Amino acid sequence: MDEATALELIRLADGHQVVSVKLADRVPAWDPGYYAADIIISSDFVNAQLRILVTLEDLDHWTGALDRIEADELRAANGDVLSVDWPPAGNDGYLRFIADDPYVVEVHDQHQTQISVRVPLDMDEGWIPEARQRLRDVQRLLSPGD
């Protein structure tokens, strides 16, 4: 795993559009443990980047979000659409993952511009294991003692 790949915490892509979250550095931007990261949208329609701060606790929240999404995929659809915010809404910038068909990722810049961008993604079946592996790689990279 190279450094660039190791720093990509989230990559949601369907071959046409990408929403990713990349750590700017493996060193905290400032104490206690706030890491600068960029939410990046790439598509034929819009390309954007939003700087956010994430913590090790936010990585745990992403684990929980993936658990909820995976459980939602396994249960019979009852008409309700699961929606998960990461990092938790209220932060300056965050993703809202909507487990619909197709999946939708909304990128919200809550405080600065108050702009939201909605990106539909036709995700393949293997995306959750890949997301978990990225998360483990970043957690390992940021774990104390490295």
User: pLDDT at residue 72 above 60?
Assistant: yes
User: pLDDT at residue 48 above 90?
Assistant: yes
All residues at 6 or more sequence positions from 54 whose CB lies less than 8 Å from its CB, including other chains: 9, 21, 23, 34, 35, 37, 87
Torsion of CA 65, 69, 72, 73, to 10 degrees: -160
Residue listed under structure tokens 């993703």: 95
Is this model's pTM higher than 0.85 or not? yes
Alpha-carbon distance 136 to 123, whole Å? Answer: 20
Q: What percent of the chain has pLDDT over 70?
A: 87
pLDDT band per the 50, 70, 90 thresholds, residue 74? low
